Amino acid sequence: MQGGRNERMSQTVPQAEVLTVSELTARLKRLIEGEPWLQSVLVRGEISNFKLYPSGHAYFTLKDRATEGDRPYSTRDETTQIKCVMFRRWAEKLPYHPQNGMQVIAGGAVGVYERDGTYQLYAEVLQPDGLGGLHQAFEDLKKKLAAEGLFAEARKRPLPFLPRRVAVVTSPAAAALRDIVKVTTKRFPQAWVTIVPTQVQGSQAPADIVRAIRLANRLESVDVIILARGGGSIEELWAFNDEAVARAVGDSPVPVVTGIGHETDTTIADFCADRRAATPSNAAEIVFPDRRELDSRLRILRSHLRSGLRSHLEAKRRVLERLSQRSVLRRPQDRLDRAREDVARRLRQLLQSSRHVLDFKRADRDHVVARLDALSPLATLARGYSICRTLPDGRVVRNVGELTRDERVEVILFRGEAICRVEDLRDGGDRETKGTREARGVPGPHPIETTAPYDLFSYSGPARSGTGRKGEDAEDNEEEPR
């Protein structure tokens, strides 16, 4: 047995080109990537090991369970799998988040990863396989946008009662457009409608719908946007479940009304719209008022207005009739004569009251003047008294002790002034008045006392010119005569 093995090993190896691993891998890469049908394939399988990296690239494995008919040497427990890569520019367009165990259909090109020497699928499309997968993708995106508040009622804006211009975003060949035009012509033929064409189905439809919505927002005087499409399967309506379309609807400055599919069809765009209509025709009914209903309402309002005006005028007429029966309106001259007499009477009373007040004020003034005259220093001077002041400071002399011999003094008389020189000083004794002593707190020598001329008052004002007019300079700062 050992000899047989040696014989096999000693057999001559056929002469062939010897390749390195890199060369072999490169040739396999050229062979695989050179096959046209391998550059656009669709593969159905179950996702496993899905991972989305921070770079945005997604890596996962597609696998299916092999059968004995397909693989004669396989068992039922074996699985066939292929590694897949989806780069960021394709992964960020996914309308849902792929999960392990989800059945999908991946589309792309088969290539060779030379470093590991493995072939893999470079996926550009990843769609859920069947209604179950689509429903899962729908629910995932719905939860994501709802968490962001894109479906909040607070974002919904009211629609204008009479829109000036309406932009309809739909396919020009779609039956939905014909339904909208038909309903609009019937309900409000004066409407200004602008059609913004777009694809509504297919892989390019989401980007085209987003472009059309943005274009409609740039149109002048557009008050409402209708996003519409006719009925179809969930796959045919899937463009309106795209995240980019949903965000374009939610971010539109102009209110959006969606009329997609039939009444039972609901898309993500419907949740983001300001108003959802069951069908495209219903969308037109929501946006445009019925002219016949408006005419009927106007007729009713016109009737109410006329009735109200009649009632108002009749009430005013009755008031006018009651007023016309009043004497003030029937004989206005009598009212004016009475008013004129009342004014004259009040004027006489006012003049009489004014005279009384003036007489009282005049008497009061005369009394005050008389008192001022009695207290005036000039009145005292007129009775023969004089004022002595030192020179040159003008200080009033009240006591001989304030003077010295040969001192020059000024003597103010009722008429004129005299400059004198002191020749002799004589002490006249205690001539203070009782009031002066009491003011200083000093008791007098006896209850009966006499007063001297220089004890009657003191004067500290400026020198008098001796004009002799009664009451002149009565307001000077003089002490009141005792």
> Letter for the amino acid at 36?
P
CA distance 242 to 166: 24
% of the chain beyond a pLDDT of 90? 36
Backbone angles phi, psi at 51, to 5 degrees: -150, 130
> Dihedral of the CA atoms 8, 14, 18, 23 (nearest 10)?
-100
Confidence of residue 431 (pLDDT cuts 50, 70, 90): low
Instruction: Provide the pLDDT for residue 443.
Output: 52
Q: Is 82 exposed, middle or buried (0-12, 13-18, 19+ CB in 10 A)?
A: middle
User: Alpha carbon 218 to chain centroid distance?
Assistant: 26
Instruction: Provide the pLDDT for residue 96.
Output: 64
Q: Which of 65-79, 102-116, 292-306, 466-480 has the lowest mean pLDDT?
A: 466-480
Higher pLDDT, 384 or 229: 229
Q: Which of 69-78, 128-137, 358-367, 419-428 has the lowest mean pLDDT?
A: 69-78
Cα–Cα distance list, 270 to 153, 225, 354, 448 (Å): 13, 13, 89, 123
The vertex-79 CA angle with 76 and 85, nearest 5°, equals 165
Instruction: Provide the pLDDT for residue 203.
Output: 66
H-helix or E-strand spanning residue 302 = helix 291-324
The encoded tokens of residue 466 equal 């001796």
Instruction: Provide the pLDDT for residue 116.
Output: 86
- Using DSSP's 3-state secondary structure scheme, residue 126 falls into strand
Instruction: Provide the pLDDT for residue 249.
Output: 95
* Cβ–Cβ under 8 Å, residues 85 and 121: yes
* Cβ–Cβ under 8 Å, residues 212 and 198: yes
CA distance 44 to 63: 8
Q: Which of 253-257, 283-287, 373-377, 449-453 has the lowest mean pLDDT?
A: 449-453
User: Alpha carbon 52 to chain centroid distance?
Assistant: 42
Cα–Cα distance list, 371 to 365, 376, 478 (Å): 10, 9, 15
- Strands across the sheet containing 224-229: 193-197, 166-170, 224-229, 256-260, 275-276
* Cβ–Cβ under 8 Å, residues 98 and 90: no
Instruction: Provide the pLDDT for residue 75.
Output: 43
201-230 mean pLDDT: 90
Confidence of residue 194 (pLDDT cuts 50, 70, 90): very high
CA distance 473 to 470: 9
- Strands across the sheet containing 417-421: 387-390, 408-412, 417-421
Peptide bond before 392: cis, by omega within 30 degrees of 0? Answer: yes
452-477 mean pLDDT: 40
What count of other Cβ atoms lies within 10 Å of the Cβ of residue 433?
16
Tell me the average pLDDT of the chain.
80
CA distance 377 to 478: 7
Confidence of residue 462 (pLDDT cuts 50, 70, 90): very low
Confidence of residue 327 (pLDDT cuts 50, 70, 90): confident
